[in-house]
Structure 1
Amino acid sequence: MKIEAWSAAAVRHSNLDPHWHYAGRDVPELPGLRLAFRSGQVVGEGYAPFLPHLDATPEALQSAGRSIAGALLGADLADLDGCLERLGPFARTRNAARSAAEMAMLDLAARSADISVAQLLGGTPRPLEVLRIIPVKPPDRMAEIAGSLVAKGYRALKLKATGKLEEDVARIAAVRAAAGPDVTLTVDANQAYDADGASRLETALRPYAIWSLEQPVSARDRSALARVRKTSKARIEADEGLFDREDLETLLAAVGADGISLKLARSGGLLASRDMALRAAGQNVYARLGTAFGGPLVTLATATLAGLCPVTGPAECAEFTHFDDQEHVWPLIRDGFLIAPEGSGFGQERVVPWTAPWNG
């Protein structure tokens, strides 16, 4: 079967919490790109959010997506390697669009064969423990959110650090008190500290038994990350700056982290993320599923990695609950675990048919 047509649509998901503060900025809404490929009556979909560190504008994301999608017109779905070659090279300014196109292509290929994408690629879908992110708010409000999430069955929470030591510790202490001793807590500083400050933060957080401290220093300074890791009792995780295999090799050479965070839009797709996870595992560095930012499409594609490569720790695969994607059915989360859907492709279900115009 061949790709007979492609379609692209710009989307904007409103944040159900308009005061959501994430990675140093407010995110009241999320622009993005939705791509689709069609073969006969079968449609495969992909999605990528607009992220300022990848694309200059949402329009640049749309343009790159249309260009990549057009290159796959006529591709033979039975020739997976040939389809992947048509996606073109990896580059920071095209990786998000590339990941959306790869997602749509894999979804279509698996749906055409009536199997899951995990099975198409030789893996097995499995339930996945979910890590819920609590945005930066006053300590009492964060504690209230934590208590609510734990009451719903979540056993892993992620908190943001802002670079203000006393305030960061106060928020994390409040959440630990509300969540109880058995809930996994991770902390993400989004590069807010220098090496000395990050070490002070990690030391101050030891009474609260955090599972990991993510990217506490500049992603450009691998040696600083390594210095923090040498004295840390918590796992030190690298996130920002891991755009490609070369970035990963630099991190591994610096012995800079215990683990890495995987993100499809940043690395250029599911298969590139899988390769990074396998390479890291070969150096005894774990890989964890980082934020699947957007609706159900990117959530389920990210979760698919758990059936394809070694991943460790809870996964950030519930952020679809913040956005008003009214075109897809939400994935099932039960007792804090994302349940792999039984359908073909990535398993996403549409509420309404695809309506954007087709090309080809």
Structure 2
Amino acid sequence: MKIIDVKVEVIHIPMKKPFRIAFAVQDHSVNVLVKVMTDEGIYGIGEAAPFEPVTGENSATVLEVLKLFKQGLIGMDPMNIEGIHLMMDRLISGNTSAKAAIDIALYDLKGKVMNQPLYKVLGGYRDQIVTDMTIGIDKPELMAQEAKERVERDGFRILKVKAGINPADDIRALTLIREAVGPDIRLRVDANQGYTVNDAVRVLKEFEKIGVDAVEQCLPWWDMDGSKILRQKVDMQIMLDESIHSPVDAAKACKMDAADILNIKLMKCGGLYPAEKINAIAEANHVNCMVGCMLETKVAIAAGVSLVAAKSNITEADCDSFMYAVDPEMGMPGGFTIEGGVYTLSQKPGLGLDLDF
């Protein structure tokens, strides 16, 4: 089997409302779909969801890089996933969402060749997973109202609350959210690099009283030393996200005892192949993982939830972003069903999506 063509399509994803985190506000996303085609008529679909503050890319750069990759891919065996990653890494450093798009398409194709759903190709541990729902930064009262709706109307049992701009507002928002949703809903916080070490220690002590499970990326991405200090100062799980792009980053964080949980994102690390490496490194060091997401369609979300379902060491999921879109399905039926935060994965081959272009 040989790759004979690579097609791309740019998609614009308007959101239901602007989504605010510590360092950005988004009201839409511009992503790139990829179709890797073979001489046997089997194809795979992938997606790039670039985000400049994290991956250093946008849709225009992704398109240029995919042109470069296409030259190298033509004639290659799509099952040679390691060889294709080596080719992409030799051609250009970084550009991880572009690499993830090719990677996801290759795994979709592999599942189709094997006639197995992707979660079984990757490990097959379970066919259901639970995701959280994210509450963006807003006035604390509005955040509490949204949290209550997500729990009572939509059935979510885990909420991830964005923070990191104003510590006093963060404490008030979490206090109001806890009051609104009650004691049985799990809460975690994502500060998106918004705190200093001193601020983080002070704020996290207050979060302890509120019953927050975990806090994600309190400090700038480069400050793993500070993250280690936080683990020693507070009684909750410390998660790293923007600090973890590669298996090398994961090894460094584990060696330094800088995290209890690592947040794997396919767009940060370059796809499922390096994501499996990150999880293996974490597992060998008794560190659990979560799979998160950028603003993605069901293509990349299906890949992410398949990885969660495949691995026992990946204990958490933050794979909710497609639900922020005005049209979450976007003409992409299949892949999974979701009810109250519980994903049930498709048993169809590959990503399980009924999608072609």
Q: Partners of 1:122 and 1:294 in 2: how far apart?
A: 23
Q: Partners of 1:92 and 1:78 in 2: how far apart?
A: 22
Structure 2 residue aligned with 1:186? 188
**CA displacement, residues 53-82 of structure 1 (integer Å, 9 cap, x when unaligned):** 323432111111232233222222454544
Deviation larger for 85-94 or 245-254: 85-94
Aligned-pair CA distance for 1:307: 3.4
Q: Partners of 2:293 and 2:81 in 1: how far apart?
A: 27
Q: Partners of 1:92 and 1:135 in 2: how far apart?
A: 32
Q: Partners of 2:230 and 2:91 in 1: how far apart?
A: 31
Q: Partners of 1:90 and 1:158 in 2: how far apart?
A: 37
1:6-21 aligned at under 5 Å gives the runs 6-17=6-17, 19-21=18-20
Q: Which runs of 5+ in 2 are unaligned?
A: none
Give the conservation status (yes or no) of the 8 Å contact 1:46–1:101: yes
Aligned-pair CA distance for 1:201: 0.6
- Paired letter, 2:4: E
Report whether the alignment pairs 1:155 with 2:157: yes
Report whether the alignment pairs 1:287 with 2:292: no
Aligned-pair CA distance for 1:86: 4.1
Q: Partners of 2:138 and 2:157 in 1: how far apart?
A: 20
Report whether the alignment pairs 1:274 with 2:279: no
Change (3 A) 1:301 1:125: farther
Aligned-pair CA distance for 1:31: 1.3
Q: Partners of 2:67 and 2:311 in 1: how far apart?
A: 30
Q: Secondary structure at the match of 2:312?
A: coil
Structure 2 residue aligned with 1:358? none
Deviation larger for 124-133 or 66-75: 66-75
Structure 2 residue aligned with 1:346? 351
Change (3 A) 1:232 1:135: same
Give the conservation status (yes or no) of the 8 Å contact 1:259–1:285: yes
Change (3 A) 1:91 1:206: farther
1:90-109 aligned at under 5 Å gives the runs 93-109=94-110
2:201 is matched with which residue: 188, 199, 209?
199
Change (3 A) 1:254 1:80: closer
Structure 1 residue aligned with 2:37? 38
Aligned-pair CA distance for 1:269: 0.9
Change (3 A) 1:329 1:217: same
Give the conservation status (yes or no) of the 8 Å contact 1:125–1:340: no
Quote the sequence identity (%).
21
- Paired letter, 1:5: D
Aligned-pair CA distance for 1:135: 0.7
1:214 is matched with which residue: 213, 216, 225?
216
Aligned length: 351
Q: State the TM-score, normalized to the length of structure 1.
A: 0.91
Structure 2 residue aligned with 1:165? 167
Give the conservation status (yes or no) of the 8 Å contact 1:72–1:87: no
Change (3 A) 1:50 1:119: same
Q: State the TM-score, normalized to the length of structure 2.
A: 0.92
In terms of fraction of residues, the more strand-rich structure is 2
- Paired letter, 1:74: G
Q: Partners of 1:242 and 1:309 in 2: how far apart?
A: 18
Give the conservation status (yes or no) of the 8 Å contact 2:135–2:162: yes
Structure 2 residue aligned with 1:231? 233
Aligned-pair CA distance for 1:303: 0.9
Structure 2 residue aligned with 1:253? 255
Structure 1 residue aligned with 2:306? 304
Give the conservation status (yes or no) of the 8 Å contact 2:22–2:194: no
Q: Partners of 1:207 and 1:282 in 2: how far apart?
A: 32
Give the conservation status (yes or no) of the 8 Å contact 1:49–1:294: yes
Q: Partners of 2:212 and 2:157 in 1: how far apart?
A: 13
Report whether the alignment pairs 1:329 with 2:333: yes
Deviation larger for 130-139 or 69-78: 69-78
- Paired letter, 1:35: V
- Paired letter, 1:36: K
**CA displacement, residues 225-252 of structure 1 (integer Å, 9 cap, x when unaligned):** 1111101111011111212122222222
Q: Secondary structure at the match of 1:37?
A: strand
**RMSD, matched Cα:** 2.0
Give the conservation status (yes or no) of the 8 Å contact 2:116–2:347: no
Deviation larger for 269-278 or 89-98: 89-98
Q: Partners of 2:294 and 2:337 in 1: how far apart?
A: 15
